[in-house]
Structure 1
Amino acid sequence: MQPYSPAPDLLRDRVILITGAGDGIGRCLARACATYGATVVLLGRTIKKLEAVYDEIEQAGHPQPALYPLNLEGASPKDYSDLAAAIDSNFGRLDGLVHNAGWVGALTPLANYDLEMWFRVMQTNLNAPFMMTHELLGLLNRANDASVIFTTDAVADAGKAYYGAYAVAKGGVQVMAKMLAEEVEANTHIRVNTIDPGPVRTNLRIRTYPGMEPEVWPLPDSIIDTYLYLLGPDSREVRGQLLHAQH
């Protein structure tokens, strides 16, 4: 992706849901979307973190965001149906959906992988994005220019040893995103793409690479323009693509 400079009103009047909005990339993206005019639905499992992002956005004078606490690991189909109903009641549509939340789980050989851990990691990284998207497609279809962004990781392409369920889930996300992009292209205004953020200084990466100094990785703010590009009208013709975030 080439360097991108968003227009000041890029996301004006858009309603955008971001998962994992309380920390890392999600937090930075939520603040950026609000800065460019969007009403952001902050979804995550830790209320205190979500409230902190909410306060930052409100104090900056941007459109008032909405809070939606939800633990993706334990969420049921009804939880996602309730989420769709809440967005419908408050906004009537959804212009953007960013699947940012992720959890590595454990780095261990497949032969030693705990079966319960496998289920939990797959639930968070693959099943949750599917179920959420499934329930929100109707609201996305009401928007004139809706964008769905899935998040992947290079470990999925590499089949990197020891990444277990996380790498398998991210590989599944890539397939799901391409499949959905083809299915909705012909008869909806929904476009679906995938982003690989690359190495970014987040808590997830710091925990995964405890032997490295966090300062070697760029801050999440450095990749946000890639997300803004896909969420805004400048990428209307971009569908079914995997973009590597531009630092």
Structure 2
Amino acid sequence: MFTYNPKPHFLNNKIILVTGAGDGIGKEAALNYAHFGATVILLGKTVKKLEAVYDQIIANGGAEPAIVPLDLAGATPSHYAGLAGSIEHQFGHLDGLLHNASMLGDLGPFLDISQEDWQAVMQVNVTSQFNLTQALLPLLKKPQTSSLVFTTSGVGLKARAYWGAYAISKFATQGMMEVLADEYENSGIKVNCINPGGTRTAMRAKAYPAEDSSLLKTPADIMPYYLYLMDAENCVEHGETLHAQA
């Protein structure tokens, strides 16, 4: 069984950006990173949710986070370039990037995948990650060590019928991680994937509406994995996929 007991404040003075930080796993990760000392950049599309996470971090005594309202479905490379410029101006560097935001899309037969659904899922799950990573890599290269974490899925590792564009997008995510890990093999950037497994989130409920969610692990239950992968100084994995519910 995986055990990881981080030292108190091991993320002090670290700057970490989390996508999809307003809800579910992204919210829990942001709260945990802040709890251990990081200044968290909260990126998401719903300002009200981001403000609620901001308030919770402040109430818990964490460092003041930054809020970045951005809808990945409509974001362009210029948006990400502007974000990178703002982060560099305000913080000077970036210690961690967690790609958490994803879109499920429609589940069903391959022949029924619409152009609209395909484009939307690929934009959020693949293209936005490509653009954001490309924009922020120069900032991740500035510290001596940093962490780049992608979120995959069981259906992105072993194909499953009727999971359509979502499954294909997660195979692309896995490939993106592996390409970057190979390129940065001899650098200070640790590049990995995490597969959270069946977790009590809104996306899981949409995919399995008849499931008893009380039987699922909560985002808080799997946080040791997310903390470990952000501990670039002690994490030994690089180019690997960690399964939070192996």
TM-score computed with the length of structure 2 as normaliser = 0.97
Distance in 2 of aligned mates of 1:147 and 1:96: 5
Do 1:16 and 1:96's aligned partners in 2 also have CA atoms closer than 8 Å?
yes
Alpha-carbon distance in structure 2 between the residues aligned to 1:235 and 1:215:
34
The letter of the residue matching 2:164 is G
Partner of 1:9: 9
Query: Which residue does the alignment assign to 2:240?
Result: 241
Paired residue total: 246
Structure 2 counterparts to residues 190-201 of structure 1, below 5 A: 190-201=189-200
Partners of 1:211 and 1:153 in 2: CA distance: 20
Deviation sequence 1:113-166 (CA, Å, 0-9, x none): 111110000110111111100010000001121100000000122211111111
Provide structure 2 residue ranges, at least 5 long, that are not aligned to the other structure. none
Q: Distance in 2 between matches of 1:206 and 1:236?
A: 32
What secondary structure is seen at the aligned counterpart in 1 of 2:184? helix
Taking structure 1 as reference, are residues 212 and 246 closer, same or farther at Cα in structure 2, changes over 3 Å only? closer
Is contact 1:153-1:196 (8 Å) kept? yes
Q: Which whole-Å CA distance do the structure 1 matches of 2:206 and 2:214 have between them?
A: 14
Question: 1:238: Cα distance to partner?
Answer: 1.8
Distance 1:80 1:42, change over 3 A: same
Cα displacement string for residues 182-234 of structure 1 (whole angstroms, at most 9, x for unaligned residues) = 10122x31110000000000000011100112111111000011010010145
Structure 2 residue matching 1:185: 3-state secondary structure: coil
1:135-174 residue pairs with structure 2 within 5 A?
A: 135-174=135-174
SS of 1:218's equivalent? coil
Distance 1:216 1:236, change over 3 A: closer
Paired with 2:168 and 2:58, the residues of 1 have a C-alpha distance of 38
Over aligned residue pairs, what C-alpha RMSD do you find? Answer: 1.2
CA contact (8 A) 1:87 1:93 kept: yes
Q: Which residue of 2 aligns with 1:18?
A: 18
Mapped to 2, the partners of 1:24 and 1:244 lie a distance apart of 18
Partner of 2:222: 223
Aligned residues of 1:145 and 1:236 also touching (Cα < 8 A): no
Calculate percent identity across the aligned residue pairs: 45
Kindly indicate whether the alpha-carbon contact (under 8 Å) linking 2:87 and 2:93 is maintained by their aligned counterparts in 1: yes
Alignment match, 1:45: 45
Tell me the distance in 1 between the aligned counterparts of 2:112 and 2:30. Answer: 38
1-structure distance, mates of 2:134, 2:159: 27
The whole-number CA distance in structure 2 between the counterparts of 1:73 and 1:182 is 28
Deviation at 1:246, TM superposition (A): 5.0
Runs of 4+ in structure 1 over 2 Å off? 233-237
Query: C-alpha distance in 1, partners of 2:130/2:160?
Result: 23
Which residue number in structure 1 is paired with residue 188 of structure 2?
189
CA distance in 1, matches of 2:233, 2:227: 9
Unaligned runs of 5+ in 1: none
